[in-house]
Every structure is written in structure tokens, then in C-alpha cells.
């Protein structure tokens, strides 16, 4: 079974090194296990070159069957005995920086109290990771457009446009999005870490979308840096409300254009089909859905 798990990881990761790292074993050990597996079943599963690993036709057939078998084994194990009452084991979750620090981590003591035998490994990054290739159980994302993953909507998050008191003292307060378009109010923008695309600002004017093409004083690709830009008075900042709400409540930031809010953003939890029967993933999905449902929308 260990060799089968290793083979499945190599296929999903596309390389022995990445697969071995995710399994926390030396590459040489993994390679030897798969050689013994090939000898046992009497078929070549992988073609190895210096830099690449290719799956043979027999290997593809074997992978498809073994992937489903491993999911069945995990389901059986988690529905028997102690695991049925208390899910256990490692759970790898990926999410963005602000979601981790402002929403998930403050609430994790509750999750740990409910499921003390689940060891959570939280990957914090604003890039879109390859869940299957990197052996990650699930991720919290703003889109559900990856056909290779199962997506479940867990809630909505509201947007806020705000600025520091120092910025307002210099520039004043805009009364309409058109003033931002005209360049009277510089914006501290946000661009995607992976694609480099600048995040658009689309507000609702008389219930119709209004694209704010602004003059940017600075562009950043990290949510914490975006907040720092707002606090430093570098520009108007359009961001998710939870990211700036504590600063607004303290009076460090002031909400502007409140009557022209953008549509709330959908939030999803996504996971590979192989995790669909995982009890660990299911209880985490249920828990995080409850967390998002309790978020206060301003």
C-alpha cells in the first residue's frame, strides 16, 4: 500500500522529488518502492528520464484504479472505530494571507477543541496552488472555475473603499466614482501574484456596474501590504471589508463611497475528487462554512 501511495503521488506531482517531499521520504526510497511495485505487477508504470517522468499506458490504467482504491481505503478507515467519532490525521489547507490571519487563525482554537486529533497544516499564499500536484486536501478561493476540482460555496464577503485620515486631509472625500476615474483621487491598487493582472474596481452606480479606471499611486500583490498602503495614506484602497474593518473601527481608516459598494464576493472551498469522501475534509468544510456565515457584513 505504501508503494501504491507513492506511485499515485508521483503521477499527481509529475516528479519523484516533489512526490517524495510530500510523503516525507527520500527520493531514492520512493524510487526503489516503485521499482519493486513494477516488478510485483509485471508491468512498466513509469518511464524515467533525467528531468521528466512519463506515465505509461499501463501506468495510467493502474493510476486510475489505485486512486479510487486509496480513496475507498481512507473512507473505510475513517468510518471505523475511533476515527468515526473523532476524525484524525494531517489536513493540508491552502488560503490567502488576509483570510488566514483575520478569519481562520483566530477561530482555529474552536476547530482544535472539536477535532483535537486533526493536525492542520495551513499553507498561506496568494498564488493559486496545484492542489492535486502538491497533495493539498482543500483550499479557500474566490473562484470555482477549475474543472478538475469540486467546489462548494461557503459564503460571501463584502468590499469596502477606504482611506486614511491623512489622505483625506490632503485630497478630500470623493462623492462619486467618476471623481476617482478623473484622477482627482489616486488609488493604491492590487495586482495578482500569479498573473500580474491589476484587480479591477467595479462599483454599483444606480444598481449598474461602473468600472473605476483609476490613477494608481502604487501597486502591490499582497493583502497585508495593501492594508499598509491605506494606513500610510498612499491612496484610496478597495479591499475586502474584513481586511480593514479593525482599522476602520479604531478610526485609522475612513470608509468612502459607501453608497457605491461593489457586489459581495463569493467564496468557495475547493478540493480534488479524491478527497470527496474524506471525513477530515468534510468536517473542515462544515466548520469553515459556519465561520463565514458568522462574519459581520458592514
Output the CA–CA distances (angstroms, integers) from residue 167 to 14, 173, 188, in the order listed.
50, 9, 11
> What count of other Cβ atoms lies within 10 Å of the Cβ of residue 62?
21
- The per-residue pLDDT for 298 is 45
pLDDT by residue (tens digit) across 30-69?
A: 999 999 999 999 999 998 876 678 899 999 999 888 887 8
Q: Could you say which DSSP state residue 79 is in?
A: T
Q: What is the mean pLDDT of residues 85-104?
A: 86
Kind plus residue range of the DSSP H or E element containing 223: helix 223-231
Q: Rounded to an integer, what distance in angstroms lies between the CA atom of residue 85 and that of residue 266?
A: 32
Q: For residue 238, what is its C-alpha cell?
A: 478597495
Q: Rounded to an integer, what distance in angstroms lies between the CA atom of residue 47 and that of residue 56?
A: 7
- The per-residue pLDDT for 22 is 80
Q: Rounded to an integer, what distance in angstroms lies between the CA atom of residue 240 and that of residue 243?
A: 6
Q: For residue 148, what is its C-alpha cell?
A: 478538475
Selection from 298, 249, 289 nearest residue 111 by Cα: 289
In this structure, are residues 179 and 259 in contact, taking their beta carbons and an 8 Å threshold? no
Q: Which residue has the higher pLDDT, 238 or 9?
A: 238
Domains of the chain, each with CATH number or no CATH: 2-78 (1.10.10.10), 81-157+266-293 (3.40.190.10), 159-263 (3.40.190.10)
Amino acid at each position: 500500500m505504501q508503494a501504491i501511495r507513492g506511485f499515485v503521488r508521483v503521477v499527481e506531482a509529475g516528479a519523484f522529488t516533489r512526490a517524495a517531499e510530500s510523503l516525507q521520504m527520500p527520493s531514492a526510497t520512493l524510487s526503489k518502492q516503485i521499482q519493486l511495485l513494477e516488478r510485483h505487477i509485471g508491468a512498466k508504470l513509469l518511464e524515467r528520464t533525467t528531468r521528466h517522468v512519463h506515465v505509461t499506458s499501463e501506468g495510467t490504467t493502474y493510476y486510475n484504479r489505485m486512486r479510487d482504491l486509496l480513496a475507498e481505503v481512507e473512507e473505510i478507515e475513517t468510518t471505523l472505530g475511533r476515527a468515526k467519532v473523532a476524525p484524525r490525521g494531517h489536513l493540508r489547507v491552502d488560503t490567502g494571507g488576509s483570510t488566514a490571519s483575520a478569519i481562520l487563525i483566530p477561530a482555529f482554537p474552536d476547530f482544535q477543541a472539536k477535532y483535537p486529533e486533526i493536525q492542520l497544516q495551513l499553507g498561506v499564499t496568494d498564488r493559486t496552488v496545484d492542489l492535486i500536484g502538491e497533495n493539498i486536501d482543500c483550499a479557500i478561493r474566490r473562484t470555482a472555475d477549475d474543472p478538475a476540482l469540486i467546489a462548494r460555496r461557503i459564503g460571501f464577503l463584502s468590499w469596502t473603499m477606504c482611506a486614511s485620515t491623512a489622505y483625506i486631509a490632503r485630497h478630500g472625500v470623493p462623492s462619486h466614482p467618476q471623481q476617482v476615474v478623473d484622477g482627482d483621487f489616486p488609488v493604491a491598487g492590487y495586482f495578482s501574484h500569479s498573473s500580474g493582472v491589476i484587480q479591477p474596481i467595479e462599483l454599483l452606480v444606480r444598481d449598474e456596474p461602473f468600472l473605476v479606471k483609476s490613477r494608481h499611486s502604487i501597486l502591490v500583490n499582497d493583502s497585508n501590504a495593501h492594508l499598509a498602503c491605506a494606513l500610510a495614506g498612499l491612496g484610496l484602497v478597495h479591499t475586502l471589508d474584513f481586511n480593514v474593518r479593525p482599522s476602520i473601527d479604531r478610526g485609522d481608516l475612513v470608509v468612502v463611497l459607501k453608497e457605491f459598494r461593489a457586489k459581495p464576493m463569493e467564496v468557495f472551498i475547493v478540493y480534488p475528487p479524491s478527497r470527496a469522501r474524506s471525513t477530515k475534509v468534510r468536517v473542515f468544510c462544515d466548520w469553515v462554512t459556519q465561520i463565514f456565515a458568522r462574519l459581520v457584513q458592514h
